[in-house]
Amino acid sequence: MTDVAILGELAYWQQTGIRVGAGLAAVLLVAGTLVYLHLFKLVSFMQSRLGPMEAGPFGSLQLLAEVGKFLQKEDIFPRKADRFVFAAAPFVVLMSTFLLVVVVPGGPDAWFINSELGIYLAMAVSSVSVIGILMAGWGSASKYSLLGGLRATGQLIAYELPLILAVMGVVIQAETMNMQGIVQAQADGEIFGWGGIGNPYILTQFVAFVIFMIAMQAELTQTPFDMPIAESELVTGYMTEYSGMRFLLFFIGEFATAGVFSAIASVLFLGGWWAPIPGLEFDDNVWNLLGPIVMVTKVVVLTFIIFWARFSLPRFREDQLQQLAWKVLIPLSLANIVVTAVLKIVF
């Protein structure tokens, strides 16, 4: 319990400082890793090219160069833009990412907040980004942006429901909404009486996992659900008028949110910081150090799926997307809840 011991000795402001630093690292470092690994390299290999190779070894410093470029660019406001709304929108989007990351635990004691309603909070704040996107769409005073913003709103509302309903299955099985509790429930769990590798819920809640991943893809507005951006139709939708620093915030927000949502998915379905290896028993302190690494590994794997789909699938039309949400995903997730509840009572 050294970690807690150390934290306990520190003053409140010092603890807060450490947590803020860790939060920034969790958002920005993870986002940077994802951009480099997936956007720069994985996708390049999929498309028979090398990707960036000049900045740093194998182009690993490319992202820094990009950030430098964006920071130097002029911050352009369209003449008829609603200036305050336009300027604030990227921060609102990024804020929702930071709000999400606070519920994700990185180890038995390495958490930002340990709320009894952890997953509930996450689901609640995840929709804040919609407001930011709508602000961007409205504030830009551009028809393309407005169409993008409205599309985003319709889409995100439609996909909140399957997302929450998919989580419900997990919550029923874990009997808690605490994120730590969900990890613990998976570590201690048994699959119909067999507890060799605990019970990662991806096995027993596979339907919920698939629904969660699809709804997450839509929530992140990644292809095949990227109509709010739709670069071949709406140029880039709500981001059309942004440049420089503010575009960079959207860009970071996009990848950071992908990382944070993947982290939540890995807590819910893959066991979070705990690794499902038989006979693996560590001290809590070791888990506090190993946990973040395990988490990042799982996040990279899950985001790989996201970006794999993003760069190989075409885009839906919104009416098709709404049909998928309301006619397929929501009934399926409701059925999943019923089955889970019945099985929970029977076993």
Partner 1 sequence: MTAISDREQLSYIAAQAADARVNVEIETEGMTLNIGPQHPATHGTLRIVAKLDGEQVIAADPIMGYMHRGYEKLAEVRTYPQVTTLINRIDWVGSFANEVPFILAAEKLMDVEAPPRAAWIRTILFEMSRIANISLFLGDMGLQVGAVTPAFFAFRDREHVLNQIEAATGGRFHPNFDRIGGIKDDLPAGWIAETKRAMKKIRSFCDEIEGLLQGNEIFEARCRGIGVIPADVGLSYGLSGANIRASGVDWDTRRDNPCGLVHNELDWKVWTHPDGDSFARFWVRLQEVRESTRMVDQLCDGLPSGPVMAKVPRIIKVPAGEAYVETENPLGVMGYYVVSKGDLTPYRVKIRSASFNNISITPWLLKGVYVPDIVTILGSLYFILGDIDR
Collapsed DSSP state (helix, strand, coil) of residue 312: helix
Running DSSP on this structure, what letter comes out for residue 224? T
Q: Does 231 bind partner 1 (CB under 8 A)?
A: yes
Minimum distance from CB of 313 to partner 1 (Å)?
6
Tell me the backbone φ, ψ of residue 232, rounded to 5 degrees.
-85, -15
**Phi and psi for 191 in degrees, rounded to 5?**
-95, 105
Q: Return the number of the residue (284 or 318) whose C-beta is nearest partner 1.
A: 318
* Burial of 12 (C-beta count, 10 Å sphere; 0-12/13-18/19+): exposed
Residues within window 251-310 making contact with partner 1, judged by CB under 8 A? none
Does 319 contact partner 1 by CB under 8 A? yes
Q: Which tokens is 345 given? A: 């009572």
Number of residues that bind partner 1 (CB under 8 A): 27
How many C-beta atoms surround the C-beta of residue 282 within 10 A?
14
Helices and strands of the chain, counted as H and E runs? 16, 0
325 binds partner 1, rule: CB under 8 A: no
Give the one residue of 255, 316, 325, 330 binding partner 1; rule: CB under 8 A.
316
Fill in the DSSP letter of residue 240: T
- 320 binds partner 1, rule: CB under 8 A: yes
Q: Which of 1, 5, 6, 46 binds partner 1 (CB under 8 A)?
A: 46
Query: Per CB under 8 A, which region of 122-130, 161-169, 281-289, 316-324 contacts partner 1?
Result: 316-324
CB 115 within 8 A of CB 211: no
Between 208 and 227, how does the x/- string for binding to partner 1 read (CB under 8 A)?
A: ---------------xx-xx
- Residue number, 151 or 298, with CB nearest to partner 1: 151
Nearer of residues 151 and 246 to partner 1, judged by Cβ = 151
- Residues 26 and 141: their CA atoms lie apart, in Å, by 34
Instruction: Return the residue of 8, 57, 279, 314 that touches partner 1, per CB under 8 A.
Output: 314
Pick out residues in 47-66 that bind partner 1 (CB under 8 A): 47-49
Cβ nearer to partner 1, comparing 215 with 234: 234
Q: Which residues pair with 198 in a beta bridge?
A: 196
Distance (Å) of CA 83 to CA 73, 92, 140, 287, 329: 18, 15, 8, 47, 38
Contacting positions for partner 1 (CB under 8 A): 46-49, 143-144, 147, 223-224, 226-227, 230-235, 311-320
